[in-house]
Amino acid sequence: MAFPKIDGYVVTEKLGSGSYSTVYKAYTKVGARSIVAIKCVDKSRVKNSGSAVDNLITEIRLLKTLTHTHIVHMKNFTWDDKNIYIIMEYCCGGDLSKYIHKYGRVPEKQVLYFLQQLASALKFLREKGVVHMDLKPHNLLLHKGSDGKYVLKVADFGFAQHMTGDSVRSVRGSPLYMAPEMLTGEYDERVDLWSVGVIMYECLFGRAPYSSNTFKELVDKIQRQAPIEIPSKASISPGCRELLLRLLQHDPNNRITYEEFFSNEYLDLQHMPSKENYEKAVTLIKRAIELDSSGQLEEAFTLYRDSLLYLVPCVGCETDSLRRAALAAKLSRYMERAEELKVYLKTGSFPQQNTAAVLISTAGNNCTSNTAQSRPTCSSCVTEPCKCSAQVNGTVEVPDNIVQQTAASSQPTNINTTPKSNRFGFKRLFGRQASIPYLDTKDSSITADPTQEKQKIPQAENNDGCRIT
């Protein structure tokens, strides 16, 4: 098979093709030989199709301006006499459709992990006033690093547009994932939310809700708004079920709004594992230790507690075993310190023993945020999910069952207001503070930008990461 000759690149493999274009895998001739994906658009095929040209122009224009961790990055575009080339980052994990086909049904924990990343991209698009219009598993690419961690990327913006009151309302997208109102021509940006629901359903149950044997059967189900049912044997959490059904409302006026979606408690987008949220945890921990050192214990406790909301999901997603162990040790110490401060602020007495020896589970390379299924366990909570670090009604709680109730509640905030009877306890409490380690941005691999990773050609090793074949 003859590959196209593209200046500055060596094409090695065909990845896929569509009506007007073919996507190839290639690497740069100069420098680190970074791996890229090149979308090759045949000019002869698009020149007589006005819509194809419009879609191509739209895609290039949007990709030039949309820079986000969970949106495929366009590095450059060029052309010659025969083709137009869009050079993009290469996502070596395939697409979500292949992932679903491989595993059949995706565990809810992993679905939530992907859903958070998709929601993060949609929130960014929403801020830019962009509607994708063609969300489906085929257009959600997965970058798989050498550590096994997947990062979801939204791709293919050919049907996307800035939605305004004057926008052209034409039928676009893939029927299986298309919102029902698109068939009437009366639709708005809420169509993407329906598509998210269909994708979520397919991940959980292995098929789209309106899977059909024929196109006619599919259209019939859409037009008569056939009821969407959750499989009777489905084992999903109440929060997952509620969000799914709210997304898959035929009437867009009854569908969950973008604001409700982004703030959904089950989705917990605010605390999803991300570079930004990990950096928030680093900042909060640093400030908490500073306040702790100066004797401002109540404020320090609040910051320790708030930092755990961001840190726990990030630790759970760490796939590097050494980093995960080190982060788990620091996380355990922060939880322990928060417990020490809570007990002291409540009772005025220093806890007699370490009651927050947290055992962070390191099983599995894939993660979710702080859901009940992924909560760590500790010696205080024994048979139920640990509440030392898990989110409970929007807050991180240190268990009350370990608090000594032998003294009246007291809340000293600095050494000058501490009762004499409690001075000895305070000294013990303050003396242990020096062992609290600082958190650093370099402690987690989540701070690395996947789009900036240099994907070099491996010399003689076989791995599951990106490679030239």
3-state secondary structure the chain: CCCCCCCCEEEEEEEEECCCEEEEEEEECCCCCCEEEEEEEEHHHHCCCHHHHHHHHHHHHHHHHCCCCCECCEEEEEECCCEEEEEEECCCCCEHHHHHHHHCCCCHHHHHHHHHHHHHHHHHHHHHCEECCCCCHHHEEEEECCCCCEEEEECCCCCCEECCCCCCCCCCCCHHHCCHHHHCCCCCCCHHHHHHHHHHHHHHHCCCCCCCCCHHHHHHHHHCCCCCCCCCCCCCCHHHHHHHHHHCCCCCCCCCCHHHHHCCCCCCHHHCCCHHHHHHHHHHHHHHHHHHHCCCHHHHHHHHHHHHHHHHHHHHHCCCHHHHHHHHHHHHHHHHHHHHHHHHHHHCCCCCCCCCCEECCCCCCCCCCCCHHHCCEECCCCCCCCCCCCEECCEECCCHHHCCCCCCCCCCCCHHHCCHHHHHHHHHHHHHHHHCCCCCHHHCHHHCCHHHCCCCCCCCCCCCCCCCC
pLDDT in tens, 306-363: 999 999 888 877 877 888 899 999 999 999 999 999 999 998 876 655 444 433 333 3
Domain presence at residue 299: yes
Output the domain CATH number for residue 76.
Answer: 3.30.200.20
Task: Note down the domain range covering 44.
Answer: 9-89
Q: With contact defined as beta carbons under 8 Å apart, do 123 and 77 qualify? A: no
For residues 33-38, average pLDDT: 90
Provide the number of structural domains found in the chain.
3
pLDDT in tens, 171-203: 556 889 989 998 887 888 999 999 999 999 999
Out of 7, 54, 134, 306, which one is annotated catalytic?
134
Judge whether 134 counts as a catalytic residue.
yes
Domain presence at residue 458: no
**Among 105-109, 111-115, 180-184, the least confident range:** 180-184
Output the domain CATH number for residue 281.
Answer: 1.20.58.80
For residues 268-282, average pLDDT: 89
**Among 157-171, 235-249, 364-378, the least confident range:** 364-378
Domain presence at residue 456: no
Residue 438 burial (10 A CB sphere; 0-12, 13-18, 19+): exposed
Which of 165, 161, 197 has its CA nearest to residue 178? 197
pLDDT in the model for residue 352: 58
Domain presence at residue 4: no
Both 177 and 211 in one domain: the answer is yes
Q: Give the pLDDT band (50/70/90) at residue 52.
A: confident
Beta bridge partners of 11: 26
Q: Please name the amino acid found at residue 464.
A: D
Domain presence at residue 107: yes
pLDDT at position 262 over 90: yes
Both 344 and 222 in one domain: the answer is no
Q: How far apart are CA 13 and CA 64, in angstroms?
A: 25
Q: Which of 39, 55, 89 is the C-terminal boundary of a domain? A: 89
Domain presence at residue 244: yes
Both 262 and 343 in one domain: the answer is no
Domain presence at residue 464: no
Both 225 and 177 in one domain: the answer is yes
Domain presence at residue 126: yes
Q: Give the pLDDT band (50/70/90) at residue 456.
A: very low
Average pLDDT, the chain: 77
